Amino acid sequence: MSADSIFAELSLVIAIAAGVALIMRLIRQPLMIGHILTGIIVGPSVLHLIKAPATIESFSNIGIALLLFIIGLGLNPRVIKEVGRVAGLTGLVQVGLTTLLGWAGGRLFGLSQNESLLLGLGLAFSSTIIILKLLSDKKEQSRLYGKIAIGLLLVQDILAMIALLFVSSQQASSGISLRQLSLLLGKGLLIGVPLFYISNAVLPKLQKLIAGSQEFLFLFGIGWGFGVAALFAKAGFSIEVGALLAGVALASLPYAQEMGARLRPLRDFFVIVFFITLGTRLSFSSLEHLVPVIIFGSLVAIILKPLIVLIVIGALGYTKRTSFKTALATGQVSEFSLVLVILAGSKRLVPNDFIAAVTLIALITIAVSTYLMIYNDRMYQLSEKYLSLFERRKTHFEQESRQHYDMILLGYNKGGHEFLQVFKALKKRFVVIDYDPDMIEVLEHQKIDFLYGDAMDIELLEEAGLDKTKLVVSTISDHVTNIFLMNLLKKFNPYSIVILHAETVEQAFELYGLGATYVILPHHIGSEKISSFIRRNGLNKSGFKEYREKHLAYLRLNYSPVSDT
């Protein structure tokens, strides 16, 4: 096909995807489902629009590499440390028992050994993307059940990576080759050891160079992720394993989250193509003999897998609410599972109709579990009286209060030092958000909590707990950024104290009109004076009222703005 034909074909597919995604939004379903449905529509089962499958397949490979690279960037070992015992034990027991159930069911329904084992493994893993997205939407990622769910996902991701490694070593014509697996592991060590040495010893010294330019940070992220993935693929691993390890290698660096944020729009496009490609693999005419397997797999993922999680977490001493809500979050099939069976299919370990069956199970379970998570509080109320069976007499109390920072400082360079002295004197939790690698290095050296990134990055602000913080101070003088912050705070945290900087009186009046507690103008009051006021009055917003009114009166007396509302 010509380049114009490929472009026209891809454009038509994306246009259909946008229409289907709109419907998914209206019925509150994950867009992933819409993308798979788009693939079904444009694939051989319905319209048969894709005439260049190799090109679409290449785009989908880029999508899954970006997806796993960004997941790797987010693998935070601190979460595992905090809920390590419960997440580790629950993850191992749940994955082991679910795999066993899936394998036994597969054999019962006449599947081969390979198909049965892959069915069990596919059912064992839950969707990182779906769970994290829904936890974030509900602002519950810092609740106890949210932390356990995230820890459980990390354990599953590690086990999934081992499963991907295992499948990578297999051949259709031969069984498990210990020599081949050992050789592959040896190659992995030869690549992995220098990789993690570079990421831990070399890259931290270059962080100012790498993070000093957002364009270069974006390019470095793509180059590192794809380069490492290609290197592992050349050694005999899958691209997926390489991309995940590439992300994990950078996860501890200060700019890892910002890199992930920069790559997400690119990821979103290619992941859409990936899930569309999954949909094109579905051929319902060949699935009649696998209907019992699809029903069985869906029931295991939606009911039996959460039941295992519920029993294990309850046995470890957690409340029935925590156990139930964590369990409910796990009731779907993961994107890792789809990657796993597709990889097995590429090695001719399983037929295409088996891949289609697992994809359909993922579609069903993601749809059902989304509703279960959205309405988990209502589900708990309906089933609370039946859940005492899964709760021990002595339990770990649910921590209702979320972990958050009491104070957030945006920008350290211009007067930030003065505010930090006040924050320390108040003995409250605080974090600094900055975009300058030089300032990040200073904060890191002083052992001050920081987040590297853009003050207009909503995900970054959510991580800092903007919706719960009591005081926000911005030393940033960019007016567009400060308006963005005020609008965000008006929506999610209208009772917080907000201190902003402005360059002109007109800007100050506009920020006051949006609800700013105090606006610092360089020629009128500096960081030293306002920080002294905070030291005296603490985080009591009403104490700022008189100070604010005096400033407004001064501005009205000495200036004549067009509007002061």
Helix, coil or strand: residue 266: helix
Q: What are phi and psi of 336, to 5 degrees?
A: -60, -40
- Report, as ranges of residue numbers, the positions in the chain whose pLDDT lies below 50: 172-173, 175-176, 397-402, 561-565
Helix, coil or strand: residue 349: coil
Buried b (16+ CB within 10 A) or exposed e, 447-471: ebebbbbbbebeebbbbbbbbbbbb
Q: List, edge to edge, every strand of the sheet that includes 407-410.
A: 450-452, 430-434, 407-410, 471-474, 497-501, 518-520
What's the maximum distance between 2 C-alpha atoms anywhere in the chain? 87
What is the rounded CA–CA span in Å between residue 159 and residue 92?
A: 9
Q: What is the 3-state secondary structure (H, E, C) of 68-84?
A: HHHHHHCCCHHHHHHCH
Position 300 scores a pLDDT of 95
What is the rounded CA–CA span in Å between residue 205 and residue 195?
A: 15
Considering the entire predicted model, what is its pTM?
0.62
Position 447 scores a pLDDT of 79
Q: Which fold has domain 407-558?
A: Rossmann fold (3.40.50)
Specify whether the CB–CB gap between 275 and 359 falls below 8 A. no
Q: What are phi and psi of 408, to 5 degrees?
A: -125, 130
What is the rounded CA–CA span in Å between residue 499 and residue 530?
A: 9
pLDDT tens profile 498-540: 988 888 888 888 898 898 888 887 655 555 556 666 766 666 6
Neighbours of 11 (CB within 10 A): 10
Give the HSE-up count for residue 506: Cα atoms under 13 Å, Cβ half-sphere: 3
| Whether CATH 1.20.1530.20 fits 3-390 | yes
What is the rounded CA–CA span in Å between residue 565 and residue 553?
A: 13
Residue ranges, comma separated, of all CATH 3.40.50.720 domains in the chain are 407-558
What is the rounded CA–CA span in Å between residue 97 and residue 88?
A: 14
